[in-house]
Amino acid sequence: MAAAGPAAETLKCALCGMPVDVAAPFSAMIVAGDHPLYFCDIGDLLVYLRERKADPAYARVKDYRSGEWIEAEKAYYVHEPRRFITPMGWGVASFRDKNDAVDFGIVSDITAVSRLLK
């Protein structure tokens, strides 16, 4: 008998439709309501928020070092496409701690990193 819930089904990215590996360091989600929206890449989440003028308050990203979910608005971001090979090629990693982020490149907040993605 198959288990019910997200683990039993293939999760699809709310922006591009690709499968989402929620264990990956570059996955993201929006947790408003009963049905979370999942994203295969932090860049897809940021584009989704920008295109829909959505409130990022419910968005979550993974801390690159620990893999723990963190609030997207409180995260620090590094955009380094050559260093971070992400599913959709956006090259963005997120960090809970600014000092950790500095080790990987120029640190941005959610607004600044969103402007970098075109």
Tens-place pLDDT, residues 41-60:
999 999 999 999 999 999 99
The per-type count for the chain, helices as H runs and strands as E runs, is 3, 7
Two tokens, residue 27: 């996955």
Q: What is the reported pTM?
A: 0.89
Q: Where are the domains of the chain?
A: 11-116
Q: Exposure string (b/e) for 35-44, b if CB count within 10 Å is 16 or more?
A: eebbbbbbbb
Stronger pLDDT, 1 or 95, i.e. the higher one? 95
Contacts of 10 (CB under 8 A, 6+ apart): 19
Q: What is the C-alpha separation between 36 and 6, in angstroms, rounded?
A: 10
Q: Residue 63 carries which side chain, given as an amino acid letter? A: D
